[in-house]
Chain A
């Protein structure tokens, strides 16, 4: 009897084994969200849009790559050199040792993955049912996507010139061979695509996002139009058409683009309701706080950062040496930048005759933005003075010992300290005592578009169109807000001199906001401006017999090699890897 029970048991288990087959093997996994879920749920849809926002190439406070040791793009320009001698920034880009295929870190951005996500979202959101998204909600999201597509192509065209324009989410099973392996469009076509997407975005987006800071309002799209048209115009005016227009824009197009940019800027200034930030009596502090206060009066669109949960490491990378947690002072600002700030009393640049520049008092009586942008000797930062001297002279003997002679942040205190003699202040959080902000603990928002730029765009477009009066009208509010006292309308300059002062104004007003590198390229003056011998300022502290402290300053060559920007560097190489995948992509000239 026992045996039969056993047989029965066996048969039952066998049957169980066999019968549970199909369902058993088709249990879905528990950790996936399906396509269907996403396009039928507003929150999931937005979570996907935020992914796209997050991956946009517009941030400049985040360093170029994890472990990039604080290499920020302005370290490639004439504003600063990178402090760390081992970074590619110092070894490849500044000496001009780049250009071979795929050798373009940290500039390269071939963002077709983002463009795919954008196209894919546009295609699906257009079909979203009304019970999931209202018409307004759908339009707002489509507006964001067109804005981001415009920005993406703008990011591509300012790097490579003309690139393939792809406006649908490709899939090898449905996309035709010709579209799948596309050729490059001309640079003009790409700019026109950027401008048309920006226009579409402007028409769809809301005036402001209520309590959704971090999403682009319609004025961001208009600002992008203002900026992109200005880029297109300067390339038409100063660049050369090559490769049948794959790079360069015909000269004849310049004025139309300048006009377009000017109109966009004017519209923002008159209709958008933004005002220049002006909250603090001290002009230097006012300027510094413009980037820290995170107010909405001047800022049109910014990327929001929160310490820890979504933080960057700008403070960690850029504080002076004695305030460091880890890497410090990764950008050493150049003496050339210092020399670009005018004298407060005369309105003249230090190298102009009669400017009143005092070599032994280089930081005082200057454009207030100098001290809002840079940390100079004995400035109070986080409750303590920044000590920049490399040595102390007592009775004719210079002491450069680390314990006694060198200032706590000075050249030589450590190989990681400043290489030029001063530090960046802009974007750094201040406080009453050293903050020791760690990696990913910076929450300073990254301003992407602000009214200040729009004034500068307008001034530049106007001067290039030869409307000098108008240009002065737009530069005046910027100079006034900066706290300057002389020559607010730059009346003593005209023609190319006026243009150059407006360019200088742009350099200072938007220093360390990721504009300078792109501006000198589109003006086609990079070969001159980015092939300089970087200079710094050595500070010597002297103590006389009464214990009085005095400082003397000495200019020196702060980089062993000159920067070297060659003609071909106006465009990045497409790269061998990408040509290997699609030989219809033509390489840029000179590579």
Chain B
């Protein structure tokens, strides 16, 4: 505003005399009205509807219409002030009847960002709590089926982990500041953000400190992710269509051993155990050269099951617009996610529908109705991804998959045939349908009689229906009988069924009602600005489930319950419910937008706790000071346009950890057989504790927000300390093992989280054609145990705690390794490691450190090691450049401060009769003394080498090229064109990762065993069209 105004006034000054004279003249003719018409557009030639046109110094004026046009009658010489929120205001002196074309430029400085906070919004200037917002453009650039998979790296203080790439099961977990599962609020009520189409989202705010989250009381202790969906804007209807076509492949997955490699490893293990080779050299050679593929096959099971590229598509069509009276946003979306299985048996589809309408009933009354509906369809083979990958690692390369005539062969270890089993759903299927509907209605009454006062009623219903169906059937496998020359049949039957066919079907319904009544008040009294909120909220959750199963179907063609046998049929079902009640108060005050004070209170009740313990008060207070508004700051103002420091303290709760621990009782349990019938048993629960209540989280936060260099660089940093008290836990370490019953859960553990986060956000329009941006986020947060139950043992080495008072949580405990034994002498001289004079050890075995120096390595030589499995640091860099119509952005994300632990079959080849991974070939032999892995043991197991130790721990730190996006927008064809915008883009997601360990697993691997559907990387092409 300032610059523009200065320009105008300069002009005025130049011509002061002339103007003055003119004014004098015109004032005499002031009654003469002239007509002015005009078109107001923004810098992209978009018409601006509802821009305000006011004659300076008067009440006269008008607004632009839909198409940005206006016409107004003014007297000659009057000054028209054209303003629009977020744009620089323009003043034009009218000297004659004229048709104006007014171009308004966006005003980065004046636009005070509106941030969505709990139960309201707030301008960023006045915000004195730790809230980060997510750029929805970056969200939309990522070709993910679930919004949670696009959150990583977009906000400081948000920790996101995606541990699977399986269509329909790939949601990321996310936590605010590593606090645990955060509360997700969509348009005012708890919801699931993964069910939203990214195109529906208008805003995502992450409430990090108690000042922001305490208004959510007993549920807000772990931070809150707030999502608002899009609303219509005043203007002509705008129709947008976008699509994306994506090809996906795994980020990383190791290769399996070939027949010859496996044979050599098997022999090596037998040799090390003093036994004869299983394969002769000639046999190994036959496996190697593949000259006899029937008797010496080398089956590529992975190639038979998986393909390199899977396919995914997304479409969205939305319409938005509105008048002063009614605004609307209607959107429909579709996602279809295919898999990397060769067989077309694993997919996920989601249909989204949203209709957000708001209507001004009168000047004072406004009604908003948000409706959303979703349908999700999952289809998967009867073998889950875990099973498919387990079977892949269990299918031996020296087993034939199919005989030359195409007959599926029975395998030597597993009773299943992963290729045949998933092909055409031969082993059956898993199908799930989820229907989700939500309705939110808000009636807001601005009470004109009392300025700033409004009353709001809000009701939300979220209704969820799930339907799942598991169909299992047997399929035949064959073994060639060499004596008869015929095939012997073996039937691979479904797991957990007595018969050849089994069908389990289940439905569940749940609904969640929220009702809120609130009164809010907001008014400025000169330098003093006050606002307040009083709100009451009821939450009611109910649900029920029912499932049934039958077996022995007459025909595998009829996969319906009614066609199954009554024998061995089963049914199960139940209901649940819980209620919450809360009262919120919030009071804010500021003086000259310089000194800020805010305080919130929530009085909350939860039915999860015993009568008398269900109510609690959660207060918070925060203070802020904008130093940049002080007079002494004037001299820095050119560089630092805004400097705010803020501090807050508050408490919130967490009732999500346990329900109904105050009731003693019994639960239904497994069956016991009496007289040849199975009878369900009941088992006692832990001893009850009537006094149990929620845990309380107190968060202290100090932060600073700085805007530099004409607001092109924004910096924000927070330091926080959270104390979790009254954490519900069950004493066990100090409880004598002879007690025999689980103690009551108590509110007695204490933890603390300490950490910091900062972000730099740089945006600069270098010139007309070039714009650059950079966003750097860094977050660190780690939990410490302040008080936990520990054993009474005083000898540190003899304790068995994973976590110790004062130490970090989530660590591992085990032996500390020190490389491999290289010679028999070394073993003989070393501390006794096997309890048996080291007689069972051989060169190539792992050497452990004798921590307590007693020359015996036993449990007393264990300690906690590593960083645990949860990332404690994350960082991201988002770079963008726009040149003319091209835009390029790169998002790098990363995490550190955690470990991956290789387990089971990922440690040693041929464990449990399974195959191995190629990286395991680097094992110790007298010729390969620098090996990464110990010598091969027969059967892949050995008591020494596979003890829980840091030998199998890998540092998970990594940097990932999360997203690279290149787009081209067609130049605007001025007017009379059908399309407002046509944009083409291509995106690479998860293209590659720089990591610290050598095994070819993704650093966010979902299984230390490797039995999981790996994360995917993808290439996407897409187009956005709007008209």
Contact = CB atoms under 8 A, between A and B. Distances in A.
B687 A171 contact: yes
Contact of B491 (A51, A169, A436): A436
Contacts of B673: 214, 303-306, 309-310
B859 A101 contact: yes
A403 B481 CA distance: 8
Interface string A72-101: 000000000000111110111001111111
A115 interface: yes
Contacts of B739: 112, 116, 170, 172, 180
Interface in B657-678: 659-660, 663-678
Contacts of B681: 47-48, 50-51, 54
Contacts of B482: 403-404
Given A17-B538, A86-B939, A213-B674, A577 B737 contact: yes
A34 B682 CA distance: 11
Given A18-B536, A32-B663, A581-B735, A84 B939 contact: yes
B607 interface: yes
Nearest to A582: B736
A33 interface: yes
A481 B359 CA distance: 94
Interface in B776-804: 791-793, 798-800
Interface in A42-87: 44, 47-48, 50-51, 53-54, 69, 84-87
B941 interface: yes
Interface string B566-581: 0010000011111111
A100 B858 contact: yes
Interface in A168-199: 169-172, 180-182
A92 B944 CA distance: 10
Interface string B103-121: 0000000000000000000
Nearest to A412: B278
B684 interface: yes
Interface string A228-269: 000000000000000000000000000000000000000000
A130 interface: no
Nearest to B660: A29
B410 to A, nearest CB: 10
Interface stretch (B462-470, B832-840, B918-926, B977-985): B832-840
Contacts, number: 275
A546 interface: no
A308 B671 CA distance: 11
A580 B800 CA distance: 9
Given A17-B515, A308-B498, A326-B414, A10 B457 contact: yes
B911 interface: yes
Contacts of B669: 51
Contacts of A170: 738-741
Interface string A549-591: 0000000000011001000000000001111111100000000
Interface string A325-349: 1100000000000000000000000
Interface string B438-452: 000001010000000
A47 B740 contact: no
A86 B909 CA distance: 12
Contacts of B660: 29, 32
A24 B581 contact: yes
Interface in B824-861: 834-836, 840, 858-859
A24 B942 CA distance: 58
A270 interface: no
Give the size range of B's interface with the partner. 35 or more
Given A116-B740, A583-B792, A13 B457 contact: yes
Contact of A415 (B684, B741, B913): B913
Nearest to B685: A32
Nearest to B362: A2
Contact of A576 (B537, B800, B840): B800
Interface residues of A, number: 105
A164 B736 CA distance: 11
B538 A30 contact: no
B273 A27 contact: no
A36 to B, nearest CB: 9
B684 A48 contact: yes
Given A169-B741, A580-B793, A14 B517 contact: yes
Contacts of B1009: none
B22 interface: no
Contacts of A172: 735, 739, 743
A85 B938 contact: yes
B458 to A, nearest CB: 10
B676 A306 contact: yes
A429 B668 CA distance: 32
A576 B574 contact: no
Given A47-B679, A53-B672, A306-B673, A24 B607 contact: yes
B998 interface: no
A212 interface: yes
A interface majority secondary structure: loop
Interface string A1-42: 001001001100110011011101111111111110110000
A34 B664 contact: yes
B57 interface: no
A491 to B, nearest CB: 44
B741 A34 contact: no
B678 A44 contact: no
A8 to B, nearest CB: 12
A329 B282 CA distance: 29
A215 B737 contact: no
A507 interface: no
A308 to B, nearest CB: 4
Contact of B734 (A34, A412, A581): A581
Contact of B606 (A25, A95, A114, A180): A25
A307 B499 CA distance: 11
B551 to A, nearest CB: 9
A414 interface: yes
Contacts of A164: 738
Given A215-B674, A581-B791, A27 B736 contact: no
A309 B671 contact: yes
A137 to B, nearest CB: 15
A580 B734 CA distance: 8
Contacts of A33: 665-668, 682
B733 interface: yes
Q: Which of A13, A28, A305 has the most CB of B within 10 A?
A: A13
Interface in B357-381: 364-365
B412 interface: yes
Interface string B789-825: 0011100001110000000000000000000000000
Contacts of B605: 21, 25
A304 B675 contact: yes
A441 B738 contact: no
A211 B675 contact: yes
B883 to A, nearest CB: 55
Contacts of A403: 295, 482
Interface of A: 3, 6, 9-10, 13-14, 17-18, 20-22, 24-35, 37-38, 44, 47-48, 50-51, 53-54, 69, 84-88, 90-92, 95-103, 110, 112-117, 120, 164, 166, 169-172, 180-182, 211-215, 303-310, 324-326, 403-404, 412, 414-416, 436, 438-441, 560-561, 564, 576-583
16 contacts: A17-B517, A24-B581, A33-B665, A38-B682, A47-B682, A50-B672, A85-B273, A86-B940, A88-B943, A91-B943, A97-B834, A211-B675, A304-B673, A306-B678, A309-B671, A309-B673
Q: Which 10 residue pairs across A and B have the least CB separation, nearest first?
A: A116-B740, A86-B941, A85-B939, A112-B740, A580-B791, A309-B678, A51-B681, A86-B939, A50-B672, A580-B793
Given A172-B739, A414-B413, 16 more contacts: A10-B455, A21-B605, A24-B607, A25-B614, A26-B611, A32-B665, A50-B679, A85-B937, A90-B939, A98-B835, A100-B858, A113-B740, A166-B738, A412-B278, A416-B913, A582-B792
